[in-house]
Amino acid sequence: MASSPTLKPFVSSLYSDPTRHCGSLLENYFPRSFQVKKELNLEEKLKLSTKQFRLNCLGHRDVDVSASVLADSVTDAQLDVNEEDPSISTLLMNFDSNFDPYGAMSTPLYQTATFKQPLATENGPYDYTRSGNPTRDVLERLLAKLEKADRAFCFTSGMAALSAVANLVGTGQEIVAGDDIYGGSDRLLSQVTPRTGVVVKRVNTSDLSEVAKVIGPKTKLVWLESPTNPRQQIADIRRIAEMAHTHGAILLVDNSIMTPVLSRPLELGADIVMHSATKFIAGHSDLMAGVLAVKGESLAKELYFLQNAVGSGLAPFDCWICLRGIKTMALRVEKQQENAQKIAEFLSSHP
């Protein structure tokens, strides 16, 4: 069984209402004269806590709470708050794992290969971790939100993610890539991809005239790094996206160096953004991971099929480690910039 690439709502756990599944057990355990007055069920409490949390987060901003009344419960009519998008730091620290029945602030680790199904003839939201896992889904939803993508997919490494993109290109089609790119990407494009009959053209992507010369009707994929690794060359993503789309090609941008904190290439016209999450996203040199953030449901389905078919999805434990590390990404990137500025100023004044 293979999961659909479309995210499905997580089925409520039996723990969301233990009496529904364990009524007889509770009756035997408690005296019959014993009664529990249930003021709010778990769902109502979660709704209440979520609204209170949102109000607290917006407390430092100019919000309209003149018509708001907090009494025994909070309703939509009573809570009149003009919400704004949270900062990246706030989003990273408070991303909602809304499927968890207990409202855990730290996403649980679903360290399992298989999932029990409701019936022999009915599939649940998950069946096999290669095809999908709740912990991975939380990380992918967060990354999609950071990049403003329609979908995001987590792979076992950055190169596994790039290999999936390269597999979108068929025999006789062309890839236009930068001549200054990460060593692993260079190896893939120069020694592996050509074996499938794909033509790879290399060009200085910081020179728009050179890029325009090599993009043509056979071009299926344009592969950018901006800034490049190692020479830190900058490409005009918006202009190159226009060139690629004129010929019906896909634009991939390796955004590993910039991270979503500093750059969102999808907003500039890219179709796929790739990250080596091993680097700044996870941030602690304790896992290997790659990310593809994708614009467009059709392209997302193609990449999901390749990920599932090859079995290159990130394992639950690595997803959990990445979720732990990503919480401080914005703070780390800010400090890295501050330190880099000090080093640059020192070196510029050094004889």
Q: pLDDT of 252-292, one tens digit each?
A: 999 999 999 999 999 999 999 999 999 999 999 999 999 99
Question: pLDDT at position 89, please?
Answer: 86
Higher pLDDT, 17 or 346: 346
Q: Which of 25-29, 83-87, 190-194, 346-350 has the least mean pLDDT? A: 25-29
pLDDT band for 59, please (50, 70, 90 cuts): very low
Catalytic, 180? Answer no
Average pLDDT over residues 128-154: 96
Query: What pLDDT score was predicted for residue 100?
Result: 78
Q: What was the pLDDT predicted at 48? A: 57
CATH code linked to domain 113-334: 3.40.640.10
* Cα–Cα dist 19/149, whole Å: 40
Every domain of the chain and the residues it spans: 113-334
Angle (nearest 5°) at CA 276 between 209 and 347: 70
pLDDT over threshold 70, residue 86: yes
- 279 is annotated as an active-site residue: yes
Active-site residue (options: 100, 137, 180, 254) = 254
The pLDDT assigned to 58 comes to: 44
pLDDT band with cut points at 50, 70 and 90 for residue 188: very high
Coil, strand, or helix at residue 129? coil
pLDDT at 82: 57
| CA 303/CA 168 separation, integer angstroms | 8
Q: What is the pLDDT of residue 99?
A: 73
Element (H, E) at 251: strand 250-254
Selecting among 279, 301, 324, 327, the annotated active-site residue is: 279
Q: Is 254 a catalytic residue?
A: yes
Q: What is the pLDDT of the chain when averaged over all its residues? A: 84
29 is catalytic: no
201 CB contacts (<8 Å, ≥6 apart)? 174, 175, 176, 177, 214
The whole-number pLDDT of residue 302 equals 98
Please tell me which residue in 137, 182, 295, 304 is annotated as part of the active site.
182
Q: Is pLDDT above 50 for 111?
A: yes
d(CA 315, CA 328): 21
Integer Cα distance of 104 and 110 in angstroms: 13
Query: Does residue 314 have a pLDDT over 80?
Result: yes
* Of 91-100, 117-126, 213-222, 330-339, minimum mean pLDDT range: 91-100
Query: How much is the pTM?
Result: 0.76
